[in-house]
Structure 1
């Protein structure tokens, strides 16, 4: 008879608690509208794969990327963030289950009670009690607050995993680009070495002509100037090598000797792989930064739901079973057994806007997360379009540079043949050689930029994770 009376007394409080805040806010999160295709992806091949954009055929890249994946501090830190997020999710999941524990205590008390001397009653003023208890409690989560908090924690795991994937993507792209820059320097060095050999041959020839009295010393001076220019450009490559090697030490967390040993491995032919065709919708499922932003949005949505549901009453069930005795020797007696079973409910009545402010704050967090998600999507779209355009422009530059190199080399050979046949003067040979000297290095640098652009495209498309 008393239970209905208690419930009837609690119902008005529960109703008031449910009304302490207004209805949950409605926040629209429509999917960003993306174009059907990349505008600058003209000429891309449907048979090519994203993985081909990286220099997988280069043994230096294979060695250095493997070392980085196993020892990079930045990647290890990102993986630790995943473990941290998993621990948070495990804690949130465990919070929905009953909790049991045990405790024991020894309590001494003394009372100062003035009892008349002729009183028939005797009261002990000092007591020592001994207790040992098993306690349990459980929140049945009727309105789903804990469930939403667990959903938010699981979404944080997805965000952490996407963050680690983003770190790995950037790490591999940076290593690939640095290795390509190193190979480009090697190609430039080869071209400059050929230029130096040709210039030294002209110096030798001009000295012979000068000694024979059939040419002025000015020809020799101009030939020596061309050789000095080649030597200067060769010397400048050393500083670029040092910078690249130091960068790889940082990226791979390996000593300089090990990095240089990897870079000394034989280089493959410098080719330009075909550019793969991709749809902008790929960015939504393959870009780690977009996936991380989507996971953060899901987490904020769950946090908002948990905050809104906290305005409803909270129920708690608890129980205790133990032993209580005022004599240690009687602690295990049957009469020392005590126990309790309780159910409680708590609901907000008047909080003067505190809960409503928390809901407004959670709603603002969700709106911010949605805009961050949209920003990540359009940032990815812009980077992909830029990368496709960069590939097209660097390919065109490389093609023209190669044609210029081949034409200049033919012109230099023809000028030398005409000179030997007495049909051209020595200045004509020097001018043709000077043009050829610069063209070889420019072609090597242009090919390197075209290969570098492919690495940027690989990164902007989210890597080749879609093939996993």
Structure 2
């Protein structure tokens, strides 16, 4: 890992990234509530919780293979012997039998231990997948919330500008009737107002799309948030600088990197499992059985037999299957090793891109702010000069068009800063850090037990 981000080195130690609940730095209570609701109700999170329960159950299953197994058996038979030619009569008798069978694989070469180890790493991987899902979820909720506020602000700007331009068009029409304006002036004034009004439906569509996506991320119907967000609100404005730490921090902070590492560990353990299958296995087996012609005699006058001893299984010839299984496991391990490297590089790329985007967007926003102020002053001056008869009315329309474009770009830049802030915290690994209950299943079936067939 490189010692620092980008091409800038510093003699001062890098400050660790502050990722705990980073979205609260935006000072938006509505966003905070939406993220909490999303973590509780998102369907991808629910699916990731189920994967954790599955992985934990698989781990318990593999651990059970390390312990002895014991089974109980019971049987009852009714037998009739045929009569012989030497006058013996046919006989009918019952035979009852009960017993226990036990076995235990000694696992001398560690195949079962490696399988349990792989299953344990599978649990770790499932937990990291849940954290990665929640990191993505928090980032998506914040990003779509920013989009919703951005399109609301752009829509409101278009409405205000359209009203102002309609007023200008009406004044131009009055001046045209008075002979102080031309038909060209009135046509262009009307066209400019209509063009701005045409932007309003576009922003309404984009706003509705963002709100619908937000609702689905919360596990709710698409229109569930329309009433809560319709009053509008400011675009989140991150004011503090984001500390990025050093590149090596992402090995611990990024759940997708930790997930890739756990998967590599899991498939490394599977190599040992496949290797152990090439060697002999030794098991201790035993059984005890009791038989009698009456159930009451099973414990008293029964015939009791038992057996106990080791058994050895030696793979002699499998047509190269066991060696091929080891090669398959090694090739899979290589794939996950490369996937781990790729995850680390992708994480570094995400951070580098987010840092550049946020830094440059802040510079851009400063220039756009100055541009909007200048265009606003130019518009006011153009109107004053036009009323004094010094400039042409087309200068007023051009100034109003430029002012609208500048304010539009300023709003978009403000939203981009918030989006880049979200992307940077997400790239650094900032997600949900609170406790998540994974024990409760999404579906509780009360009728999943055994069903006895009723006699007819």
TM-score under structure 2 length normalisation: 0.85
Of the three residues 360, 375, 393, the one matched with 1:393 is 360
Find the aligned partners of 1:458 and 1:123 in 2 and give their Cα distance: 92
Contact 2:112 2:273 in 1 (8 A): yes
Greater alpha carbon shift after TM alignment, 415-424 vs 230-239: 415-424
Name the counterpart of 1:338: 305
The alignment status of 1:153 with 2:123, answered yes or no, reads no
The alignment status of 1:224 with 2:190, answered yes or no, reads yes
Name the counterpart of 2:217: 251
Quickly say closer, same or farther: Cα 1:38–1:105, change in 2 above 3 A.
same
Greater alpha carbon shift after TM alignment, 223-232 vs 312-321: 312-321
Name the counterpart of 1:19: none
Alignment of 1:356-395 (within 5 A): 356-395=323-362
SS in structure 1 of the partner of residue 107 of structure 2: coil
Contact 1:304 1:359 in 2 (8 A): yes
User: What do residues 444-464 of structure 1 show as CA deviations (whole Å, max 9, x unaligned)?
Assistant: 012112211222222222224
Name the counterpart of 2:141: 175
Q: CA deviation at 1:244?
A: 1.6
Name the counterpart of 1:63: 33
Alignment of 1:58-457 (within 5 A): 58-107=28-77, 128-264=94-230, 267-268=233-234, 270-273=236-239, 274-457=241-424
User: What do residues 227-264 of structure 1 show as CA deviations (whole Å, max 9, x unaligned)?
Assistant: 11221112221211222222223322212442113323
Find the aligned partners of 1:265 and 1:431 in 2 and give their Cα distance: 32
Contact 1:56 1:62 in 2 (8 A): no
Task: Report how many aligned residue pairs link the two structures.
Answer: 430
Find the aligned partners of 1:383 and 1:62 in 2 and give their Cα distance: 24
Identify unmatched segments of 5+ residues in structure 2: 436-456
Q: CA deviation at 1:328?
A: 4.0
Find the aligned partners of 1:204 and 1:426 in 2 and give their Cα distance: 13
Find the aligned partners of 1:294 and 1:138 in 2 and give their Cα distance: 33
Contact 2:148 2:210 in 1 (8 A): yes
Query: Once superposed, what is the RMSD of the aligned Cα atoms?
Result: 3.0
Greater alpha carbon shift after TM alignment, 88-97 vs 46-55: 46-55
Quickly say closer, same or farther: Cα 1:460–1:124, change in 2 above 3 A.
farther
Name the counterpart of 2:442: none
Contact 1:139 1:316 in 2 (8 A): yes
SS in structure 2 of the partner of residue 253 of structure 1: coil
In terms of Rg, which structure is larger? Answer: 1
The 4+ residue runs of structure 1 with deviation greater than 4 A are 40-43, 45-48, 53-56, 108-115, 122-128, 420-423, 464-468
Quickly say closer, same or farther: Cα 1:99–1:56, change in 2 above 3 A.
farther
Quickly say closer, same or farther: Cα 1:352–1:52, change in 2 above 3 A.
closer
TM-score under structure 1 length normalisation: 0.83
Quickly say closer, same or farther: Cα 1:404–1:438, change in 2 above 3 A.
same
Name the counterpart of 1:26: none
Quickly say closer, same or farther: Cα 1:40–1:386, change in 2 above 3 A.
farther
Contact 2:135 2:432 in 1 (8 A): no
Q: CA deviation at 1:317?
A: 1.7
User: What do residues 31-82 of structure 1 show as CA deviations (whole Å, max 9, x unaligned)?
Assistant: xxx2122217899x94873444677533332333223222222211111001
Q: CA deviation at 1:210?
A: 2.7
Greater alpha carbon shift after TM alignment, 437-446 vs 82-91: 437-446
Q: CA deviation at 1:184?
A: 0.7
Name the counterpart of 1:15: none
